[in-house]
Structure 1
Amino acid sequence: MSTPHFYSIGAPGQPWGDTERTLWRARQVRQRSYADDVLTAVERLRDRFDVESYGKVSYADAQHPVEKFPLMALRSRGWKNSLPTVLVTGGVHGYETSGVHGALRFAETQAAAYAGRVNLLVAPCVSPWAYERIQRWNFDALDPNRNFRADSPAQESAALMRLIAPLHGQFAAHIDLHETTDTDESEFGPARAARDGKAFEAHGIPDGFYLVDDTANPQPAFQQAIIEAVERVTHIAPADAKGGIIGSPLVAHGVIHYAMKELGLCAGITDARYTSTTEVYPDSPRATPEQCIAAQVAAVCATLDFVCHESL
């Protein structure tokens, strides 16, 4: 359902320019600390992983002093090229909290069980400026999860692609941890429509966990293994009245398809056989923040269990 323009920045039918982006940026308020929440947690894991900075993002304009954020990744100690490699990413959208903390929780509590069976590369918070503002976009009003492409204008996306470039051909799987929230339709969807000069189209927010598989490379058995693991932790989103989720047809229990590479999605960057984007619903009356984090951990573990079984 398309609705008339109602976002308070911009004019109907006109994409934003520099003035509108500056107005939008002025509204973004720092609400939490990437250093305290993420970098401190990464440092605690230094005795178990090889910790590396894979770059930094740096932002400033006439109204904002320079802010710099180091981008950190955890890499398996004792990396063996003979083992399958799995990429875990969180915080591509900084406001999707359980993706960040799910990646960190997995690294802290579960990763050791897979030592010697897989190589792990974990980027727990891809978009730190947005993490601090509880925002979907980066400083430039760009969605990192639509900008994983050559010559990306999104610093966060470009840095992650540089990190994984030397490992192309080695990845067995990539799981990208996300959330779908009520603010997707109260704030971020309308903002996107206004930014692009389009009408906002509402699809409704699914109540529960679901997965996004790759249209060009569907792996139904892999997706089902994740769904079965997560279903022990939290509920799976049902189909809406049209038989879909967020405007896409339901292809299996809790699974939809997106064209990952075509859309510039993070889950399309590795050319891995097995890829998935998780989506938990933290605003559900049937789920707690802890359940959302546990669901992300369960999804990562199910990914690794599936890869380990397939490599036998």
Structure 2
Amino acid sequence: MNFKIHDKLVHEVESPKGLLYRMIIIYACCITALLTVLALVIGDTSKLNFYFFINTCTVAVMTWFIRKSFNIHSREAHLLVFRISLFFLLNSSLASMAGGMNLIDRDTASLIAAILYVPAMLMIIYSFRKFINYVNHNYKSAVNLSLTDELTGLPNRRHLNIKLREIENRLATICIADIDHFKRINDTYGHDAGDRVLRNTGLILSNLANDNVFISRSGGEEFAIVIIDHASAEGIVRKIKESVSYDCNGTFKISFSIGVAIKQKHESSSSTITAADDALYQAKRSGRDRIIYSSRFNN
């Protein structure tokens, strides 16, 4: 399904923000027109020179910039500060235009433009720094969401693939674990019960993860465990299995079947995953609720 998101924050003229940006546009147009009429009334059309057109273009650009700033979906205070700074710059350009047309003394116009320009730039610097923090925070949140399984809170398959690429040239132990008889739990007690089991299992596994132990939900009731450069991998795998074995409210028992494969530095992650998957299949065929090591383990 294709969801089209409009890039405009303001859709109706009657909305407060709609009226605000329209008032700014009307203000800029009226002041520019007033300055032009005053120059013509005074009678010296030579004042409508190249300098005047440069300032007119600057005013138009600043007005357009203010208008575009209302397309940003944010209620952050720094956005308001940014819009105010743009309005100051707009008035700075208008003052400069008036001075260039000799409607006011040029020194006075330069002073007014500078008085407006300095705080505008300070506010832009402030809002820009806040905006960078805002973007970085939201980017990090978006990345975390894209790499996290929504139900269990564990890393998802995409994150697992990234981790597997990272360990291509490293020694690691890779495990594929599966909740025993999960389909039976869903069929007998309902999918809500199955979701609770997955959430509880995810919580248990997340408490066992650390810098050297990466645990993800690879799909369905299956989990992948990557133990990096760790001499006590067997003990970690055993601890994981024991931690996940529990009674669910006295109604049914949860247990894990785990297939384990050792990845040497020269071996690929994909081939090790396949070996661990084969070992998991053997664990299920052997009665479940056990750990089976791939034949590589004995090589």
**TM over 0.5, shorter chain:** no
**Larger strand fraction of residues:** 1
**Larger helix fraction of residues:** 2
The TM tier, using the shorter chain, reads under 0.3
